[in-house]
Structure 1
Amino acid sequence: MRFTDEHAAFRSSVRSFVSSEIDPHADAWEEAGVFPAHDLFPKAAALGLLGLEYDPQDGGEGADHSFQMIAAEELGRSASAGVAMAIGVQSMMATPSLARYGSAELRRDYLAPAIAGTAVASIAVTEPDTGSDVARLRTRARRDGDDWVITGRKFYITNGTQADWICLLARTSDEGGYRGMSQIVVPTDSPGFSVARSLRKLGNHSSDTAELVLDDVRVPVSSTIGEIGRGFQQQMEQFVIERMYAAYSTVGACDLALERTRRYALEREVFGTPLASKQYIAFRLTELAAQVDLLRSHNTAVCEAYLAGEDITRSASVAKLTAGRLFRDVADTCLQVHGGAGYLEETWTARLFRDARLGSIGGGADEVMLQVLARMDGLPA
């Protein structure tokens, strides 16, 4: 893929947004355990970050996926991984199904405000005792005339305390397993909807993560995204895009971490010589940079395949698996090179180390990615 001057200008604008609107506030937002999404998202929307690939009729930019890849890479360089993830949820996780399958009314009432940043969106799939096993989903939407009456709980929900609406996956029939699920837009001001608690996490502190309760929440059946009973299939498509956001943003995060660590190794003297003169240090940092280059190349190939309309399920799973493990290796090495200083909370390496661990869990754990790939290879995983 050959990037144009337009791509370069867009990358520069996103990097400027990160350095001016996110990084100066990162420490305070981490300490608070939340960031002001309703203040930040309109600023992100002004750059088109929340609707890059969406139809201009819905308020989107009408750009192609290559711009989304660049945006994710640059957001990955943020000092606050939690904020970067929250923007990713808004742009690549909670809204793709709505943009593709939603009715004109749903797109007008929910997608357009999300693209404009005036409404915060969230994706609600995971439940307390199901984790990645979506087939065991229990939240139920019972039809009552022209309404759904929804009961259930959702867990690990990013943007959950601030969301104005959620893209909910619920059972809408008695069919078991992967059948009989639907995606439904649920406004969070609906009677019976509540945030049970905000969850404390190892990392990504500035990202508000919630447990949600739906107690006979009533919404119109017309709030269903796409076809009733096709929610699982639509959600799987949405997961593929989510996993690519993780892979794209990992490249940006790793690039910056290695850049900062190389600079430190060149400046830090140990036994009379720069730390970078130690062959193991130099080779390890170089090896990791090479692996980041390989992930970037793979991501670019996936982006091109997606633009060509190809099925990227396998390549996205490879990207997600690789990104999660590589991010952990980079974070661990950067902390190690910084030594005792790297272990201090006041050093950026400590936050990176904590934040990176989510990469192999969120959006589909490493083991789930391996299961997907094994099945595609004909193995009975």
Structure 2
Amino acid sequence: MRESFYQESHDDFRDLARSFVSREVEPNLEKWDEDRLIGREVWRAAAACGLLGLRTPEEYGGAGVPDYRYRCVLTEELSRVGAAAFASSLAINEDIVSGYLINLGSADQQRRWLPGMAEGEVVASIAMSEPGVGSDLRGMSATATRTADGWVLNGAKTFITNGGSSDVVLVAARTGEHEGRPRFSLLLVPTDSPGFSRGRTLRKLGLHAQDTAELFFDDVVVPLDSLVGEQGRGFHHLTHQLPLERLSIAWRGLAGAEAALSWTLDYVRARTAFGQRIIDFQHTRFRLAELVTEVDVTRAYLENLVSRLNAGHLDATTAAKAKWWATELQQRVVTACLQMHGGYGYMDEYPIARAFADARVQTIVGGTTEIMKEIIGRELAAGRST
């Protein structure tokens, strides 16, 4: 018998997370969608419950627990109520920006930003995507020029999660060239910096509560110590952080698929047509059997990768496999589940309708499915992967 992925401490954490989600998240979902913004108070409430800063060292106000399974639990509980927007926004703070600060940030950078993030007072964003560039990060045109006074940043970014509300932005920008190839660096930019401005908060197909914005940098000057990691090594740093980022997206895909199946099973067991329950039709049972099996197999695979991440052995190519597979699975599951709801599946009052729209970005964000396959394919062509 396979050993349980979760232990008693994770079960206790789930009770805490479920109580928080029921009290602070679920009642606010409709309002956040209407406002197209997640209330800042929920960040502080999450921090008060000990749900933020899980990996952040205790000296900076966090829990100092690197075990990613706790983040998996919180993602599942948010997915259970259809809070995909908040789950995604949290991942930027908890899995991405904090990861750069913990692994690459200076002591001063860590002291300045990590406590506020763990307390729910600081919301962060990461700015890589640019207009017209898409997944081609080497095509970035934003520049940061080093001067005696600091870095002077110019350029535009788009599709930035938390971009409309963030207090600090981790920006990728060109800082030079080597042998005709651009070199990138990462800079921390407080959003109250002169020359920084926000453009539109973008209206999206789904994830309406999550503020996604355009950002502009017009001769923004930040101190020399705003550099995160090494100058010119930004692309290397980004690549090093990708396993966690892509596993985070993959787990949201899995959790979203499991939630959709749970809602659908409840629906088809209760709903009747032509004198019998929807689930009593053979086609319904067969389709559900297929979906449940695919989800169970995917969970086993991702659980293995979380264990590898915890042990420090998850590589970028394997994370790319997880990302494309789990997010494409999410598309298949959510689409099939909506179909089983019939006309009600098209109504916003049913969570499956919102999940259908929210899930669509999953195969795009963090690198498209096609980019994931290209990464895997290059490794195969080079004989470095099987």
Whether these two folds match at TM > 0.5 is: yes
- 2:44 maps to 42
Q: CA deviation at 1:177?
A: 7.7
Aligned positions, number: 379
State the distance in 1 between where 2:90 and 2:272 align.
39
> Residue 178 and residue 371 in structure 1: after superposition, are their counterparts in 2 closer, same or farther (change >3 A)?
farther
Bigger drift between 44-53 and 90-99 goes to 44-53
- 1:62 maps to 64
Conserved 8 A contact 1:178-1:232: no
State the distance in 2 between where 1:75 and 1:358 align.
17
Q: CA deviation at 1:111?
A: 1.9
Conserved 8 A contact 1:179-1:232: no
State the distance in 1 between where 2:255 and 2:366 align.
18
Q: Secondary structure at the match of 1:131?
A: coil
> Residue 15 and residue 311 in structure 1: after superposition, are their counterparts in 2 closer, same or farther (change >3 A)?
same
- 1:363 maps to 366
- 2:36 maps to 33
1:245 partnered with 2:268: no
Q: CA deviation at 1:23?
A: 1.1
Q: CA deviation at 1:176?
A: 7.3
State the distance in 1 between where 2:77 and 2:259 align.
10
Q: CA deviation at 1:326?
A: 1.0
Structure 1 counterpart of 2:330, from 324, 327, 331? 327
Unpaired segments ≥5 residues, structure 1: none
Q: Secondary structure at the match of 1:235?
A: helix
Conserved 8 A contact 2:101-2:228: yes
Unpaired segments ≥5 residues, structure 2: none
Conserved 8 A contact 1:137-1:171: yes
Q: TM-score, normalised by structure 1?
A: 0.95
Structure 1 counterpart of 2:377, from 357, 374, 378? 374
State the distance in 1 between where 2:82 and 2:296 align.
21
State the distance in 1 between where 2:244 and 2:227 align.
20
1:279-304 per-residue CA deviation (whole Å, 9 max, x = no partner) reads 11111112111111112111111111
Conserved 8 A contact 2:153-2:217: yes
Q: CA deviation at 1:101?
A: 0.8
- 1:336 maps to 339
Bigger drift between 370-379 and 66-75 goes to 66-75
State the distance in 2 between where 1:97 and 1:189 align.
21
Structure 1 counterpart of 2:226, from 217, 223, 226? 223
Matches within 5 A, 1:72-111: 72-111=75-114
State the distance in 1 between where 2:113 and 2:38 align.
22
Question: 1:105 is aligned with what amino acid?
Answer: D
> Residue 208 and residue 178 in structure 1: after superposition, are their counterparts in 2 closer, same or farther (change >3 A)?
farther
Matches within 5 A, 1:1-381: 2=4, 3-36=6-39, 38-63=40-65, 64-175=67-178, 179-378=182-381
State the distance in 2 between where 1:249 and 1:73 align.
8
State the distance in 2 between where 1:170 and 1:47 align.
36
